[in-house]
């Protein structure tokens, strides 16, 4: 029987899957046809900055931008090396096959080159994660690593599970197995993106790592909760919330900048009958109440709308042409 990591599909997880799927459709329609190189570059910088910052890197986004431009940067040599390595990995991210252990090891070799002994090789020692004076996570014995990774990558290749679930489950399993002496967190987050991009290229644009970094405590708490229950369910739910938020953020950034007249004309095409300012704001949730009032006042003055009532009782309707 094929291996499947243990997790449960809860109602909350299903709701997140629906929400993410809807947002992916909207993001694809807006962004993929453009293949925006500026957006890709900006997200790559944010991704590298956030992923390395989680691991203690001190460089700022501005310094990372300077490293990419091959400018001299004042900072710890180790931190600069981490950025150079991460840049090389993320430039090649579309070439990694999500089910290939060889590609997984190659990515780790690039990511950790010059930072540890034997990058790109599975660990040969026991490892654990210590928080304070307590061992928070004791990884499986080194002798089991290759077998566990082989099972996991078989699941990646053969399972019919939803890709969104599969990517999160694999991220957790990489963290749990801890296949390397160092760089496991970076590899878990990287490989989640590699898996997602196989079906959803839009994930190359998403600031997933940035949102993880802003919610770092919840990230580690969800890992600990999954360790405690023996199932990756809490971590999957957390990561899906992060993806949903990342899509929300990118959709907000990519929303076309409409003029007041553009907004009015779009609204007038969609509206039927009477409506209120609240109805107008529901149609354009990013605008403020004063902006909505100004738009509607302009439409009345231009003869596009009729107004009746006052203050809270105000209603608008399209002015019919004679």
Structural domains of the chain, ranges and CATH numbers in brackets:
11-254 (1.10.3290.10), 260-318 (1.10.10.10)
Is residue 17 within 8 A of residue 240, CB to CB? The reply is: yes
Dihedral sign from CA coordinates of 239, 24, 53, 183: positive
Dump pLDDT digits (tens) for 13-70.
999 999 999 999 888 876 654 556 677 788 889 999 999 999 999 999 999 999 988 8
Q: DSSP state, 183?
A: -
Q: Give me the mean pLDDT over the 169-184 stretch.
A: 96
5 to 33, 146, 194, 258, 259: CA distances (angstroms): 36, 16, 18, 47, 50
Bridge partners of 134? 131
Q: DSSP state, 94?
A: G
Dump pLDDT digits (tens) for 72-90.
999 999 999 999 999 999 9
Is residue 60 within 8 A of residue 49, CB to CB? The reply is: yes
Please report the pLDDT score of residue 33 as a whole number.
44
Dump pLDDT digits (tens) for 208-259.
999 999 999 999 999 999 999 999 999 999 999 999 999 988 887 766 666 7
Q: How far apart are CA 56 and CA 59, in angstroms?
A: 9
User: Residue-wise over 197-206: b if at least 16 C-beta within 10 A, else e?
Assistant: bbebebbbbb
């Amino acid at each position: 029987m094929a291996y499947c990591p243990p997790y449960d599909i809860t109602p909350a997880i299903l709701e997140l899957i629906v929400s993410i799927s809807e947002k992916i459709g909207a993001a694809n329609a807006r962004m993929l046809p453009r293949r925006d190189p500026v957006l890709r570059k900006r997200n790559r910088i944010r991704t590298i900055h956030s992923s390395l910052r989680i691991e203690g890197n001190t460089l700022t986004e501005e310094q990372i931008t300077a490293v990419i431009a091959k400018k001299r940067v004042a900072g710890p040599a180790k931190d600069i090396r981490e950025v150079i390595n991460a840049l090389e990995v993320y430039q090649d991210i579309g070439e990694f096959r999500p089910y290939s252990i060889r590609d997984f090891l190659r990515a780790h070799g690039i990511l950790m080159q010059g930072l540890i002994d034997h990058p790109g090789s599975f660990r040969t020692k026991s490892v654990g994660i210590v928080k304070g004076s307590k061992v928070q996570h004791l990884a499986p014995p080194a002798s089991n690593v290759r077998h566990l990774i082989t099972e996991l990558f078989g699941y990646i290749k053969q399972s019919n599970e939803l890709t969104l679930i599969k990517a999160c489950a694999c991220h957790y399993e990489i963290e749990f197995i801890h296949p390397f002496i160092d760089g496991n967190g970076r590899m878990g987050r990287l490989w989640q993106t590699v898996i997602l991009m196989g079906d959803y290229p839009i994930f190359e644009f998403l600031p997933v790592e940035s949102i993880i970094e802003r919610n770092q405590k919840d990230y580690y708490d969800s890992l600990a909760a999954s360790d405690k229950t023996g199932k990756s369910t809490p971590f999957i739910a957390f990561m899906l919330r992060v993806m949903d938020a990342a899509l929300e953020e990118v959709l907000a950034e990519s929303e076309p900048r409409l003029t007041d007249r553009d907004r009015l004309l779009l609204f007038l095409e969609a509206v039927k009958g009477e409506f209120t300012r609240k109805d107008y704001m529901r149609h354009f949730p990013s605008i403020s109440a004063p902006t909505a009032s100004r738009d509607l006042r302009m439409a009345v003055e231009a003869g596009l709308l009729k107004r009746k009532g006052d203050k809270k009782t105000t209603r608008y309707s399209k002015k019919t042409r004679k």
